[in-house]
Chains A and B, each alone.
Chain A
Amino acid sequence: MPIVSMVEHSLYYPVPRNLNYMWNFGSLAGLSLIIMIVTGIVLSMHYTPHTDYAFDSVERIMRDVNYGWLIRYVHMNGGSMFFIVVYLHVFRGLYYGSFKSPRELLWWLGVIILFLMMATAFMGYVLPWGQMSFWAAKVITSMVGAVPLVGESLMELLWGGFTVDNPTLNRFYSLHYLLPFVIFGVVILHIWALHTVKANNPLGIDMKGPQDSVDFHPYYTVKDLFGTGVFLLVFAAFVFYAPNYLGHPDNYIQADPLKTPPHIVPEWYFLPFYTILRSFTDDWWLFQILLGWWGMEAKLAGVLAMAGAVAVLFILPWLDTSRVRSAKFRPLYRVFFWLFVIDCLILGWIGAQPAEQPWTAIGQWATLWYFAYFLVMLPLISRIERPRPLPHSISQSVLGGGGGAAVAAAASPMEKSR
């Protein structure tokens, strides 16, 4: 049975012995996906994808289906949990250089998963047919109209009509059910690629022999189970004690195409991208210098920038050309990495603010910094930075023995407490 050999292979494959807790988030993302698929399948048994019934059918799940409230709250908060662990997973990859050779394919598959997740989450949020569902769908799908020449037709294809309506809800439901299985497929490829190139580690150096590795089972299965416990504690705290904290109250009002909410905000995990989208206004100097003068619409630039904010991750292996993977040995990169994290948090914060000054200006500077980090600073940093010397091997570094002890200690003062 190939499935048996696959499981056996995944359990007894060599993993670097020095992984820290940041390596827990991959398996947690996989767990989140499974939780979402299982709860989603059950919800779909009771949900009605029709503009007249969708909202009420969700409330029927909440009130009349046995433990429907539990399943729905798990699914609703599960989306947020999924994004939290995936974002941490991505930032871990950035910090420790997991996107660098030989793991480019692994990284690209991950970016594809991220894209698919975003599409799935966006369409899923529309299904309860609350006010935010409807207006978020309206705002985001209308963006497609900015595409030159085919924009209008694309938008009508997306809507299945001339506005967000029943056909839109139906196709979003269909795709929201389909895409998770596509994600599942890409996740298998992602794990396959991982097992081919093996896991990166906090030192960012290759495993050179059995002394550098341990078997996945039991060493990391147990560690992952511990991480799973912590994750589920956080998850359960939201589901049972603050199930609506991450949502918007307006989504408990049925969609009304004639009543625009005062502030249309997406779910928290889209806020940074929403800021990037909204930063491109006609009067932004950067837009005018770069794109506006040859007649590009600000709206289109915003759409492209929003997509580009994720797509830029694809070309990351060529932007950051440093041969040293881990930020541990890259003093300059490390500083800019943390500035980038702060920048992402600022983008998220601005996304929840109304489109007014001073928020717009702050958001524009944060957007500029976001792209400058990838397109300007990373290539520069990797060229001018002088990385600190790498330890000879993982085992030498973590065990601190042998002639290379001095090198290892100098290379990783953080590890000395061990």
Chain B
Amino acid sequence: MICISRRLLAPAAIVAGLAGSVASATAPAHAAGDGVAPKEVAWTFNGVFGRYDYPQLRRGLQVYREVCAACHGLRLVAYRDLAAIGLSEAEIKAVAGEREVAGEPDDEGEPTIRPAEAKDRFVSPFPNVQAAMAANNGAAPPDLSLIVKARGGGADYIYSLMTGYVSEAACKKEFKDSQGKPLVPAEGQYCNTYMSGHIIAMAPPLTEDGQVEYEGKGAPPASVDQMAKDATAFLAWAAEPYMVERKRMGIKVMLFLLLFTGFMYAIYRQVKKDVKGHA
């Protein structure tokens, strides 16, 4: 046993070393410029047994529809996907029906417009990037379908960004620009602790408690912090709708592999007895 563990140690140490170097090598590359490390939130979907909190996701959908959707698309998510977070067929139809999409040409060959249906993907607020830029001071609001996976720090970062706005005065005091002078946001720009470079073109999206009216019993008060968390949780789901299924399957796979590996080790020990010096 002793000799086995020692022999295991060498490759294990190398793997650990490699993993360590990979971790340290990738970490700085992922850091968002000179941004501040995001606030850590105890998301329900964190960890090996992480699950989405479906009522929270539905509240997040509400925040997305009433606040974010004015500027940000969600073009990779289909309306039908909302069934997974507990929306009924009628509710999905209602959500989809608010927007219009191009339909089939009619009998005369003229283009038609129809309300979006469950099968369609979320209709973006702007028809193209140029329109998005024109309406937003030259900075097109990014699509949010993958935003949680597309930013270092993930959900923590998105939540921190939404709640990380500081006043102009605080900005001047705390942050410096590239020349080392106090940072002053230009016209139409805002100061945000967690944005790389601390300057962001997005106006603070959540400004007052109760901005979105949460309905139903058991819904928490719609504080800015709560709304930011709910919206982020919804976006985390939008980016990774199969995360719960993945983690659940992972437990089964890991348990099976542990058993398999244990069995193989036992058989290996057995076979090894025949041959002295066989490693």
B238-279 vs A, Cβ < 8 Å mask (1 yes, 0 no): 010110001101100110011011101101100110011111
User: Chain A interface residue count: which class?
Assistant: 35 or more
A69-100: CB near B (< 8 Å → 1, else 0) gives 11001000000000010011001000000000
Q: Which of B14, B29, B262, B279 contacts A248 (CB 8 A)?
A: B29
* B81 contacts chain A at the CB level, 8 A cutoff: yes
9 residue pairs, one from A and one from B, having the closest CB atoms: A240-B250, A229-B261, A398-B277, A252-B150, A352-B25, A226-B264, A252-B146, A252-B149, A352-B29
Among A84, A226, A249, A271, chain B packs the most CB atoms within 10 A around the CB of A249
Listed A/B pairs (20) with beta-carbon separation below 8 Å: A17-B279, A19-B279, A20-B7, A21-B8, A56-B76, A88-B14, A214-B275, A219-B272, A228-B264, A233-B254, A236-B250, A240-B253, A240-B254, A246-B26, A248-B30, A252-B146, A345-B17, A345-B21, A349-B25, A417-B3
Given A84-B15, A232-B257, CB of A352 within 8 Å of CB of B26: yes
Q: Tell me if B146 and A222 are in contact (CB < 8 A).
A: no
Q: CB-CB < 8 A to A237: which residues of B? A: 254
Q: In the assembled complex, which residues on chain A have CB atoms less than 8 Å from the CB atom of B21?
A: 345, 348-349
Q: B2 contacts the other chain (Cβ, under 8 Å)?
A: yes
- Known A268-B26, A348-B25; 11 more pairs at CB < 8 Å: A17-B278, A73-B246, A84-B18, A219-B275, A219-B278, A228-B264, A233-B257, A233-B258, A237-B254, A240-B247, A262-B33
Smallest Cβ-Cβ distance to A212: which chain B residue: B277
Given contact pairs A234-B15, A395-B277, A22 touches B26 in the complex (Cβ within 8 A): no
B6 within 8 A of A: yes
From A69, A236, A399, contact of B277 by CB (8 A): A399
Q: In terms of DSSP, what is the predominant structure of the interface of chain B?
A: helix
CB < 8 Å neighbour of B28 from A63, A214, A352: A352
CB neighbours (8 Å) of B146 from chain A are 59, 252-253
In the complex, whether B173 has a CB less than 8 A from a CB of chain A is no
Q: Tell me if B271 and A240 are in contact (CB < 8 A).
A: no
Name the residue among B6, B258, B265, B279 with the largest chain A CB count within 10 angstroms.
B279
Let me know if B246 and A18 touch, CB within 8 A. Answer: no
In the assembled complex, B186 has its CB within 8 A of some CB on chain A: no
Chain B residues with Cβ below 8 Å from A19 are: 279
**8 Å CB contacts to B: which residues of A398-418?**
398-399, 417-418
Contact B150 A249, beta carbon cutoff 8 Å: yes
**In the bound complex, what is the Cα–Cα distance between A262 and B34 (angstroms)?**
11
Please name all residues of chain B whose beta carbon is closer than 8 Å to the beta carbon of A394 when the two chains form the complex: 277
Chain A residues with CB under 8 Å of B257's CB are 229, 232-233, 236
| Alpha-carbon distance A250/B258, docked complex (angstroms) | 34
**Nearest CB in chain A: distance from B143 CB, A:** 9
**A171 contacts B by Cβ under 8 Å:** no
| Bound Cα distance from A268 to B242, whole angstroms | 26
- List CB contacts (< 8 Å) of A204-262 with chain B: 214, 218-219, 222-223, 225-226, 228-230, 232-234, 236-237, 239-241, 243-246, 248-250, 252-253, 262
B247 contacts A241, CB within 8 Å? Answer: yes
Contact residue among B11, B25, B264, B275 (Cβ-Cβ distance under 8 Å from A225): B264
Least CB distance, B173 to chain A, in whole angstroms: 26
- Complex CA–CA separation, A209 to B24 (angstroms): 48
Asked whether A398 lies within 8 Å of B264 as measured between CB atoms, the reply is: no
Contact of A14 with B by CB under 8 A: no
In the complex, what residue of chain B is closest to A359 when comparing beta carbons? B28
- Cα A245 to Cα B25 in complex, Å, equals 12
B22 at the binding interface (Cβ < 8 Å): yes
Residues in B whose Cβ lies below 8 Å from that of A386: none
On whether the beta carbons of B260 and A271 are closer than 8 Å, the reply is: no
B152 interfacial contact with A, CB 8 Å: yes
Question: In the complex, which of the residues A22, A56, A63 contacts B10, with contact meaning CB atoms closer than 8 Å?
Answer: A22
Q: Is A353 an interface residue (CB 8 A)?
A: yes
The residue on A at minimum CB distance from B9 is A21
B113 cross-chain contacts in A, Cβ below 8 A: none
A305 within 8 A of B: no
* B160 at interface by CB-CB < 8 Å: no
Closest residue of A by beta carbon distance from B48: A241
A289 to B4, CA, bound (A): 50
A121-157 interface (Cβ within 8 A of B): none
Q: Is the CB of B151 within 8 A of A249?
A: yes
- Asked if B193 lies at the interface with its beta carbon under 8 angstroms from chain A, I say no
Kindly provide the distance from the CB of A133 to the nearest chain B CB, expressed in whole angstroms: 13
Task: Note all chain A residues with C-beta closer than 8 A to B48.
Answer: 241
Given contacts A222-B264, A225-B264, A345-B21, contact A18 B76 (CB under 8 A): no
**Set of chain B residues within 8 Å of A56, measured between Cβ atoms:** 76
In the complex with contacts A233-B258, A351-B25, A244-B149 CB distance below 8 A: yes
The CA-CA distance from A234 to B24 in the complex, in Å, is 19
Bound Cα distance from A18 to B279, whole angstroms: 5
In the bound complex, CA of A230 to CA of B262 (Å): 9
> What's the Cα separation between A249 and B26 when bound, in Å?
11
Q: Which residues of A contact B262 (CB under 8 A)?
A: 229
Interface centre among A18, A91, A345 (most CB of B within 10 A): A345
Report A204 CB to chain B, min CB distance, Å.
15
Pick from A70, A225, A232, A349: contact of B24, CB below 8 A: A349
